[in-house]
């Protein structure tokens, strides 16, 4: 007897779906599949205008560009951030009583996990067990740099496997070993900047959210403490203590404080308030808020296996994953003050090498899952199994001493941000 999760993963794709998707891998296939998704702030007015909060960056505040015609375009979610939101759709959410993944997409990729420490152990020592039995670990699908992350390099049993996969990619152009171990590294891009190979691969799926024709808004607030309710004696004692410790009472929450200026800017210039130092209060999006999603089929067709057969297998596997990632309905609550919705149906287009883009109807989700499941089989065969043939987790241990050695290693080829 099979569970519902397993039933959803055992159906085969239709002939029409297989032929359509396989045609995109042909040498004369389209260069890309593209979606422009119109988004809407949930608090938008009848004209679609609404206030949303972009991410705030150190030193610059919001990332807003001004075009030649004066239009201001705000970055709402970067390519990297979108990738980090999409990648966990393949993450395990647990298994049913029969050992099948509750999230069917999790059975498409290896669930590599790195144990950081056990029950509060700070040394990353795999022998160290804590009283509560808690194990602190991270999925490879959560790591910012994926298979090239520093934590991977500091995991003695995982690092050699990843290094071999990167070497096969650099020296032989063979992506199959990395696809079998960390396929989302090929899907969302990876750069082995800290490793020996220095291999760099472009994203197959690229997504970004921008808001057009924006006006910057500001905010102001007043924090009211219990100061007025304290006795004179209490106030004097707190004043003395704050003076002795060289700390402001407002910093510790014992005095009223306005919030009108940012602390990273000069609040006054020549005695006048600096408008650039005002606390940011979001942007009014007078134009559209758009999410652009692209599947790069040229880059996908450039990925190879060890031979012609394996090349077809790895390309079909990554295409299946790419379509599921690109069509995923991810949550659009991006941060406080930035809750978006998608009021319209998605309209995908395929972009030919020459000529105008053409609208294309993608297969339904169940068909995409079925295609991806079939394409994943050659790679799943390489995953470790238990005695009943069920997939086992890929568990590895972070080693603090290994991490220390990496800190001591000087790599002149790595970029500053990789070393810093």
Separation CA 87–CA 301 (nearest Å): 21
Q: Rounded to 5 degrees, what angle do the CA atoms 14, 325, 5 make?
A: 60
Domain count, the chain: 2
Q: Domain end: 239, 267, 283, which one?
A: 283
- Give CA separation, 11 vs 1, 14, 84, 107, 385, in Å: 15, 9, 29, 14, 22
Same domain? 204 vs 234: no
pLDDT score of 1: 35
> 136 CB contacts (<8 Å, ≥6 apart)?
115, 116, 117, 118
Same domain? 279 vs 293: no
Same domain? 163 vs 255: no
Separation CA 12–CA 6 (nearest Å): 13
Same domain? 248 vs 178: no
DSSP line for 251-284: GGTSS-EEE-B-TTS-SEETTEE-GGGBPEEEEE
pLDDT score of 419: 37
Same domain? 231 vs 241: yes
Residue segments in the chain with a per-residue pLDDT below the cut of 50: 1-9, 124, 126-127, 130, 418-420
Q: What is the pLDDT of residues 13-67, one digit of tens each?
A: 999 999 999 999 999 999 999 999 999 999 999 888 999 999 999 888 899 999 9
Same domain? 161 vs 296: yes
Same domain? 255 vs 375: no
Same domain? 367 vs 221: no
- Return the residue matching tokens 């070497």: 167
> Mean pLDDT for the chain?
88
Same domain? 26 vs 74: yes
Q: Domain end: 240, 268, 283, which one?
A: 283
Same domain? 189 vs 127: yes
Same domain? 191 vs 45: yes
Question: Global pTM?
Answer: 0.85
Same domain? 222 vs 277: yes
Mode of pairing for the β-strands spanning 289-296 and 135-139:
unpaired
Domain that holds residue 261: 214-283
Cβ atoms of residues 314 and 353 within 8 Å: no
Query: How many CB atoms are located within 10 Å of the residue 250 CB?
Result: 15
Cβ atoms of residues 106 and 9 within 8 Å: no
Q: Domain end: 283, 307, 323, which one?
A: 283
Cβ atoms of residues 164 and 209 within 8 Å: no
Separation CA 380–CA 389 (nearest Å): 11
């Amino acid at each position: 007897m099979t569970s519902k999760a397993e039933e959803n993963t055992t159906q085969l794709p239709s002939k029409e779906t297989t032929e359509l998707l396989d045609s995109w891998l042909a040498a004369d296939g389209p260069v890309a599949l593209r979606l422009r998704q119109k988004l809407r702030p949930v608090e938008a007015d009848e004209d679609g205008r609404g206030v949303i909060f972009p991410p705030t960056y150190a030193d610059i505040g919001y990332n807003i560009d001004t075009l030649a015609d004066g239009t201001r375009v705000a970055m709402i979610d970067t390519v990297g951030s979108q990738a980090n939101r999409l990648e966990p759709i393949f993450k395990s959410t647990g298994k049913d009583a029969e050992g099948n993944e509750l999230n069917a997409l999790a059975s498409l990729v290896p669930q590599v996990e790195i144990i950081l420490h056990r029950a509060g152990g700070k040394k990353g020592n795999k022998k160290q067990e804590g009283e509560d039995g808690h194990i602190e670990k991270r999925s490879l699908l959560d790591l910012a740099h994926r298979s090239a992350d520093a934590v991977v390099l500091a995991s003695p049993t995982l690092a050699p496997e990843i290094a071999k996969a990167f070497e096969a990619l650099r020296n032989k152009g063979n992506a199959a070993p990395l696809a079998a171990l960390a396929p989302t590294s090929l899907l969302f891009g990876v750069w082995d900047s800290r490793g020996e190979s220095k291999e760099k691969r472009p994203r197959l799926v690229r997504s970004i959210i921008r808001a057009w024709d924006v006006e910057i808004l500001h905010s102001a607030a007043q924090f009211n403490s219990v100061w007025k309710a304290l006795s004179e004696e209490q106030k004097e004692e707190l004043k003395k203590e704050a003076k002795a410790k060289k700390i402001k009472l407002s910093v510790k929450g014992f005095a009223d404080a306005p919030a009108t200026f940012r602390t990273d800017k000069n609040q006054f210039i020549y005695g006048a308030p600096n408008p650039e130092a005002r606390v940011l209060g979001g942007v009014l999006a007078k134009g559209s808020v758009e999410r652009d999603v692209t599947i790069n089929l040229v880059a996908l067709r450039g990925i190879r296996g060890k031979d012609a057969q394996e090349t077809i297998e790895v390309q079909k596997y990554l295409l299946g994953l790419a379509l599921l990632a690109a069509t995923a309905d991810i949550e659009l609550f991006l941060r406080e003050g930035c809750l978006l919705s998608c009021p319209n149906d998605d309209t995908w287009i395929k972009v030919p090498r020459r000529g105008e883009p053409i609208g294309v109807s993608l297969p339904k989700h169940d068909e995409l899952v079925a295609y991806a499941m079939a394409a994943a089989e050659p790679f799943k065969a390489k995953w470790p199994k238990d005695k009943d043939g069920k997939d086992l987790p890929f568990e590895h241990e972070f080693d603090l001493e290994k991490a220390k050695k990496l800190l001591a290693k000087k790599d002149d080829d790595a970029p500053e941000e990789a070393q810093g």
